[in-house]
Amino acid sequence: MRTQHGFTLVELSIVLLVIGLLLGGVLKGQALIDSARVKNLAQDLRTVPALAHAYQDAYRALPGDDPGAVLHLCGSTPACTRAGNGNGSVDGDWDASTDLESVRFWQHLRLAGITTGSTDLSSPGYLPRNALGGRLGVQRGGILGLPGTLAVCSGAIPGSMARALDIALDDGEPSTGSLRTGTQGTSGIIPVSSANPLVDASLYTVCASL
């Protein structure tokens, strides 16, 4: 007769231990990746205001809104950009793709040498993206009820990371303070609230006063 051999309890324990260690390593690695992404997203929200202020210091106007941008930036190439209307704000939605002040914001910064990137509005890589592939942009204030005249927004952010961003940069409450979170609706961004709660796995837009 053929003898059947199975795993001993010790062998099973070793297998389960190895599986547990592998799973723990995967989960820890994912947590480190998520933490790095949150830091990258936070850096975007810190950097964009600094870029805008550097342009203001140099030209006494906001990038995108600068009425003297052609004179300031083009030199011998007068068609290198269009001037803004000089109303003290950046007109156009943060995620626009047409030739509005919110889109020319990046062109003015790049022509001024304050940041790098393509100055050709039709270039596939012209519009900036965050670490998750979502759009990064600016627009006039008031979005999500934010105070101030300007806001910087970053899109396609999971709720868990939006929550971590708010803890790192603001008051930890996604519906209040100078950093707020919302979902994209047909008529604009809908702020998170008790009726529209933050869900970790859903995607959101995060905006901050600039």
Range of the domain at 159: 35-209
HSE of 31 in the Cβ direction (CA atoms, 13 Å)?
Answer: 6
In the predicted structure, residue 79 carries a pLDDT above the cut 80: yes
Q: How many CB atoms lie within 10 A of CB 93?
A: 18
Alpha-helix residue ranges (DSSP H) falling in 60-89: 69-73
Q: Does 13 reside within a domain? A: no
Q: Does 191 reside within a domain? A: yes
Q: Does 143 reside within a domain? A: yes
Q: Does 41 reside within a domain? A: yes
Long-range contacts of 164-173 (CB under 8 A, 24+ apart): 164/34, 164/35, 164/38, 165/38, 165/41, 165/42, 165/45, 165/206, 166/206, 168/38, 168/42, 169/42, 169/45, 169/46, 169/208, 170/208
Q: Categorize the per-residue pLDDT at 7 as very low, low, confident or very high, splitting at 50, 70 and 90.
A: low
Tokens found for residue 33: 């990746």
> Any idea what the CATH number is for the domain that residue 82 is in?
3.30.1690
In the predicted structure, residue 3 carries a pLDDT above the cut 60: no
More confident position, 67 or 34: 67
Average pLDDT over residues 103-121: 97
What's the pLDDT score for residue 54?
97
Q: Does 11 reside within a domain? A: no
Q: Categorize the per-residue pLDDT at 25 as very low, low, confident or very high, splitting at 50, 70 and 90.
A: low
Average pLDDT over residues 1-20: 67
Tokens found for residue 29: 């690695």
Of 16-20, 21-25, 112-116, 123-127, the least confident: 21-25
Name residue, tokens 């006063």: 209
Q: Domain total for the chain? A: 1
Q: Does 22 reside within a domain? A: no
Burial of 124 (0-12, 13-18, 19+ CB in 10 A): exposed
Q: Does 23 reside within a domain? A: no
Distance (Å, rounded) from C-alpha 72 to C-alpha 176? Answer: 38
In the predicted structure, residue 13 carries a pLDDT above the cut 90: no
